[in-house]
Structure formats: C-alpha cells, structure tokens
C-alpha cells in the first residue's frame, strides 16, 4: 500500500495550569498527522506527555518521507518514540476500517468523566463541584493529585474530604509515583475499607513493582506511569490499569482488549486535540459497556474553546 504522509504541528494553552508531583504544564504541543491511501484518509496525533520528548519526536517525524510504502513505514517507526508509533498506527487503523468512529459519544456532561480537583484548594473546590451538581442523586467521580504538599497536611485534607462525600461521590487519588512505601501503606490503611475509593493511582515509583503488587492486596492500585515504562505489565498486572491510547505503540491493542471485555481498564487523556479525542471517546464508551464500567479521566474542564477540539478531524486539519 502506498501512502502519502503529512504533518502539522500545534500548540495550545490549557485553560488552567496542570500540576502533579512530577510535572507542571500550562501549554501542550504536538503534531497532527494525515495518511492518505488512494481515496482513504486516516488522522493521528503525536501527543507526548513530557516536553523533553518534543525534540526527539520532531527529529523522527522529519525522517518520514512524504511518500511511503506501508511495509517500509511500519518497519521504520518500530524504533521511534511510542507517540509517533501510536499516531501512525491510529491513522492506519482508520484507513483500514479497524476503528469506526461514531458521530457522538456524549462525554460532555460533568458526571461523565472524573473531575480533577484543584490541589491548591481541594476542599473548597469539592464544595463548588457539589454545588454545581444538578442532580444530587447522580454519582460523581473526583480525582485528587497528591504528594504536592507535605504528607501531614494532605492526610488532614483527606479526613476533610472523606467527611464531606456521600456514597454518590467516588474518589481517585493519584500520587504520580511520588510516595515511598511507608506513606503509601499509611494511606492504604486509612482507605482500604472505604467504599468511596476507586483506587490509589501509581502510589509508588514506576520501578517498585514488588511494592505495588503488595499494596494491591490491600487496596485497589491503578498503574499509570509503570505501564508506560514497562508495557509488558499490560498483560501481567492483576489490578487496575490507566490506559492512554496516544502513549501506547499501538492503540489497536487496547481497542481489541476492550472489545474482548477485558476488565479493570480506565481510559485517560494525555491532553490531545479533537483528533486524539476520538480514540479517547471511542475507547471510553467501550469501557463503559465492559465488565467494570468506570468513568474515564478526560479532564474536560482543562481545554480552551478552539477549533482544535472540534469533532471533525478534517476541519481541524484544514484550519491548522
Ligand atoms: Mg495518573
């Protein structure tokens, strides 16, 4: 199959600064790619999570010719950054009909995705969210990024949060790999019998698989960064998995897992444009039909109002 390869770069400002214990972002950069074969078009997005990977991706994208043969392109990208592989494989899946997007997915309402708490004012933010909740019988999922302040302070905040949430509010706590075993065990002990907790996300550093496995016996542990560093864990980890289609070599693997009703998967944004968002929505809707439905983490309140987030990829491409 002969392919025409095109790329365009983008950069946008997030509507609020995004901070976790390891990184802080206010802008997001990446590329939209377009593959054309005969009359068929597939779009993909190169959306590295870490700014330091942008240079590497730029260099590798420049190595891809405008006219490529499928076999050569597939061989060439094998050693490229996973985000480039993801973009090309996504576009190819679209061309080959391996994924067929729907027109609408209905993730725009507040309760359809996990709501990220502002870590500066966690409790007042939680109260604002509760106030905005149009129907208090509906359940909400909130996500709190921890290990940004000292642990003593955060444990006090945890007590406050727990005293303020009823059964209809679920809680996800993400340490982004910054806790040691002692702190993680303290939190696991506090939360292990609490029905409000979905999971502790990446409580220990990416490499401490033994510690994570032990903790997972006490309380549900979701791996995030560990899965990106050790993709083999996708087939081995027995607990929850935070999955990011734009960061995996081939999101078709994730698509097939969800189609085959694999459990304990939660879909997460890497702050993609409308191009990558199509995968997030499609996979999230499959996840919700699976054996362990959970709202995805799509950070809907972080995106500016821009053509970049339209549902029509052609319009995004043409205007970029
Ligand atoms: Mg995470």
Chain centre distance of CA 261:
19
How far is the centre of ligand 1, averaged over its atoms, from the C-alpha of 220 (Å)? 14
- pLDDT at residue 109 tops 80: no
Concatenated DSSP letters of 140-170: EEEEEE-SSS-HHHHHHHHHHHHHH--TTEE
pTM, whole model, 2 decimals?
A: 0.95
Q: How confident is the model over 229-259, as pLDDT tens digits?
A: 999 999 999 999 999 999 999 999 999 999 9
Q: How confident is the model over 37-72, as pLDDT tens digits?
A: 999 999 999 999 999 999 999 999 999 999 999 999
Question: Which stretch of 14-18, 49-53, 77-81, 294-298 has the lowest confidence by average pLDDT?
Answer: 14-18
Q: What is the mean pLDDT of residues 296-304?
A: 85
Superfamily of domain 2-99: Enolase-like, N-terminal domain (3.30.390.10)
Pick 205 or 105 by higher pLDDT.
Answer: 205
- pLDDT at residue 74 tops 90: yes
77-100: b (≥16 Cβ within 10 Å) or e: beebbbbbbbbbbbbbbbbeeebe
How far is the centre of ligand 1, averaged over its atoms, from the C-alpha of 224 (Å)? 5
How far is the centre of ligand 1, averaged over its atoms, from the C-alpha of 73 (Å)? 32
- pLDDT at residue 203 tops 80: yes
Place of tokens 């970049």: 308
> What tokens appear for 306 in the block?
């821009």
Confidence of residue 108 (pLDDT cuts 50, 70, 90): confident
**Predicted local confidence at residue 266, as pLDDT:** 98
**Predicted local confidence at residue 303, as pLDDT:** 84
Q: What is the mean pLDDT of residues 178-195?
A: 97
Q: What is the mean pLDDT of residues 144-151?
A: 95
Q: What is the mean pLDDT of residues 268-284?
A: 96
How far is the centre of ligand 1, averaged over its atoms, from the C-alpha of 201 (Å)? 6
**Predicted local confidence at residue 317, as pLDDT:** 98
How far is the centre of ligand 1, averaged over its atoms, from the C-alpha of 176 (Å)? 6
Q: How confident is the model over 6-38, as pLDDT tens digits?
A: 999 999 998 888 888 888 888 999 999 999 999
Q: What percent of the chain has pLDDT over 90?
A: 83
Q: Domain residue spans in the chain?
A: 2-99, 110-302
Chain centre distance of CA 24:
16
Q: What is the mean pLDDT of residues 92-112?
A: 90
Indicate the CATH number of 110-302 among 3.60.10.10, 3.40.50.300, 3.40.50.720, 3.20.20.120. Answer: 3.20.20.120
**Cβ neighbours for 186, distance < 8 A, ≥ 6 positions apart:** 151, 155
> What tokens appear for 194 in the block?
């609490």
Concatenated DSSP letters of the chain: -EEEEEEEEEEEEEEEEEE-SS-EEEEEEEEEEEEEETTEEEEEEE--SSGGGHHHHHHHHHTS-SEEEHHHHHHHHTTS-HHHHHHHHHHHHHHTTS----S-----SGGGSPEEPPTTSHHHHHHHHHHH-S-TTS-EEEEEE-SSS-HHHHHHHHHHHHHH--TTEEEEEE-TT-B-HHHHHHHHHHHTT-TTEEEEES-B-TT-HHHHHHHTTTS-EEESHHHHH-TTHHHH--SEEEE-GGGSS-HHHHHHHHHTT-SSEEEB-----HHHHHHHHHHHHHHHTSSS----B--GGG--SSGGG-S-HHHHHHH-
* Rounded distance between C-alpha atoms, residue 297 and residue 284, angstroms: 9
How far is the centre of ligand 1, averaged over its atoms, from the C-alpha of 318 (Å)? 33
> Using an 8 Å Cβ cutoff, are 11 and 27 in contact?
yes
Confidence of residue 138 (pLDDT cuts 50, 70, 90): confident
**Predicted local confidence at residue 257, as pLDDT:** 98
How many residues in total does the chain contain? 320
> Using an 8 Å Cβ cutoff, are 26 and 34 in contact?
no
**Predicted local confidence at residue 162, as pLDDT:** 95
How far is the centre of ligand 1, averaged over its atoms, from the C-alpha of 309 (Å)? 22
Question: Which stretch of 63-67, 135-139, 156-160 has the lowest confidence by average pLDDT?
Answer: 135-139
**Predicted local confidence at residue 20, as pLDDT:** 85
Pick 262 or 299 by higher pLDDT.
Answer: 262
How far is the centre of ligand 1, averaged over its atoms, from the C-alpha of 117 (Å)? 13
């Amino acid at each position: 199959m002969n392919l025409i390869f095109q790329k365009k770069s983008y950069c946008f400002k997030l509507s609020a600064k995004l901070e976790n214990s390891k990184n802080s972002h206010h802008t997001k950069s990446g590329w939209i790619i377009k593959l054309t074969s005969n009359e068929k078009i597939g779009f993909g997005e190169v959306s590295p999570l870490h700014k330091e990977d942008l240079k590497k991706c730029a260099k590798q994208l420049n190595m891809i010719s405008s006219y490529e043969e499928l076999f050569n392109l597939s061989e060439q990208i094998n050693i490229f950054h996973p985000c480039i592989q993801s973009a090309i494989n996504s576009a190819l899946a679209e061309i080959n009909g391996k994924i067929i997007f729907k027109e609408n997915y209905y993730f725009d309402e507040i309760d359809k995705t996990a709501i990220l708490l502002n870590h500066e004012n966690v409790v007042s933010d939680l109260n604002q969210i509760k106030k905005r909740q149009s129907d208090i019988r509906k359940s909400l999922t909130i996500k709190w990024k921890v290990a940004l302040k000292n642990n003593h302070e955060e444990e006090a905040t945890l007590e406050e949060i727990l005293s303020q949430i009823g059964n209809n509010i679920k809680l996800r706590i993400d340490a982004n790999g910054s806790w040691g075993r002692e702190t993680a065990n303290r939190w696991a002990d506090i939360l292990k019998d609490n029905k409000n907790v979905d999971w502790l996300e990446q409580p220990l550093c990416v490499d401490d698989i033994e510690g994570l496995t032990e903790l997972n016996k006490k309380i549900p542990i979701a791996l995030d960064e560990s899965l990106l560093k050790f993709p083999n864990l996708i087939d081995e980890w027995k607990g929850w998995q935070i999955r990011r289609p734009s960061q995996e070599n081939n999101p078709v693997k994730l698509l097939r897992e969800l189609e085959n009703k694999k459990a304990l998967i939660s879909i997460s944004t890497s702050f993609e444009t409308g191009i990558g968002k199509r995968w997030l929505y499609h996979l999230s809707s499959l996840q919700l039909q699976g054996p362990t439905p959970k709202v995805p983490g799509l950070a809907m309140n972080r995106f500016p109002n821009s053509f970049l987030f339209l549902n029509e990829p052609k319009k995004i491409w043409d205007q970029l």
